[in-house]
């Protein structure tokens, strides 16, 4: 039983022949898989290194403004922690910010190392490692500058002489 269009019998495609592109039988075009691990590590490193440093700097400025007269009166040798009592809520915010930034920064560095080794966003992973390692330095600089800035903006008539 042969059809008139195929004199020697039905015509089948060879098993190795690919169907023409644009037909329903063609496989979908291969898409490049995203590299999310390095990107996530970079985003976490930026949160820990930049955002947390900015929050801590703001809080440190407010702490220095609130507890400044007591800190200036105590002198450089000994600091009585009771002078932080009026700003204890800000001190808590600063401490929580520090610990959250620490956890997020360590996670970012670990994810950056894994992304770099696996090749899953190698460039972003390397950037995450660098930012995650430099994050504590930036955090400390922001806090120190904010404390000095807050102390410098105290009114001059606080009754404390240096």
Give the Cα separation of 58 and 139 in Å (integer): 11
Regions of the chain short of the pLDDT cut 50:
2, 159-162
Task: Specify the pLDDT at position 11.
Answer: 63
Helix (H, G, I), strand (E, B) or coil at 146: helix
- With contact defined as beta carbons under 8 Å apart, do 138 and 111 qualify? no
Please report the pLDDT score of residue 54 as a whole number: 95
Q: What b/e string do you get for 41-55 counting C-beta neighbours within 10 Å, with b at 16 or more?
A: bbbbbbbbbbebbeb
Q: Residue 111's pLDDT is what?
A: 96
Nearest C-alpha neighbor of 81 from the set 71, 69, 73: 71
pTM: 0.69
| CA distances from residue 44 to 96, 104, 115, 125 in whole angstroms, order as listed | 17, 6, 13, 11
- What pLDDT is stored for residue 67 in this prediction? 85
Residues 6+ apart with CB under 8 A from 100: 52
- What pLDDT is stored for residue 146 in this prediction? 94
């Amino acid at each position: 039983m042969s059809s008139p269009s195929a004199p020697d019998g039905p015509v089948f495609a060879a098993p190795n022949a690919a169907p023409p592109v644009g037909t329903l039988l063609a496989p979908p075009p291969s898409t490049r898989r995203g590299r999310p691990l390095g990107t996530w590590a970079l985003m976490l490193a930026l949160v820990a290194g930049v955002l947390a440093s900015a929050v801590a700097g703001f809080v440190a400025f407010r702490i220095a403004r609130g507890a400044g007269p007591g800190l200036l009166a105590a002198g450089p040798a000994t600091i009585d922690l009771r002078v932080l009592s009026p700003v204890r809520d800000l001190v808590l915010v600063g401490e929580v910010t520090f610990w959250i930034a620490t956890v997020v920064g360590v996670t970012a560095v670990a994810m950056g190392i894994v992304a770099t080794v696996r090749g899953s966003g190698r460039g972003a992973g390397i950037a995450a490692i660098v930012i995650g390692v430099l994050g504590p330095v930036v955090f400390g600089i922001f806090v120190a500058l904010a404390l000095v800035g807050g102390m410098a903006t105290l009114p001059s008539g606080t009754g404390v002489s240096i």
